[in-house]
Amino acid sequence: MLEPTRSTERYARGLAAAVAAVAALVLAAHAGPARAAADPGPDLPATTPVEAVVR
């Protein structure tokens, strides 16, 4: 049968889980999107205008 855990142990586990969650969120926030390899330049449009797609 399981022994009852102390409240300090529960709080310590909760605190450790909270610290790990905050660290994961901070790391994820600082990991931005990858940069483009090269600028497409003025002669290569990056997107198609909406007007061209609708017609």
**What domain range includes position 27?**
1-31
Residue 31 has what pLDDT? 79
Residue 31 burial class via C-beta count within 10 angstroms: exposed 0-12, middle 13-18, buried 19 and up? exposed
Do the domain assignments include residue 21? Answer: yes
Number of independent structural domains in the chain: 1
The gap between the terminal CA atoms of the chain, to the nearest Å, is 72
Residue 11 has what pLDDT? 95
Residue 52 has what pLDDT? 62
Residue 37 to residue 35: CA distance in whole angstroms: 6
Q: Which residues contact 44 (CB under 8 A, 6 or more apart)?
A: none
Per-block average pLDDT, block size 10, for the chain (55 residues)? 83 96 92 65 64 61
Residue 34 has what pLDDT? 64
Residue 4 has what pLDDT? 78
Residue 54 has what pLDDT? 58
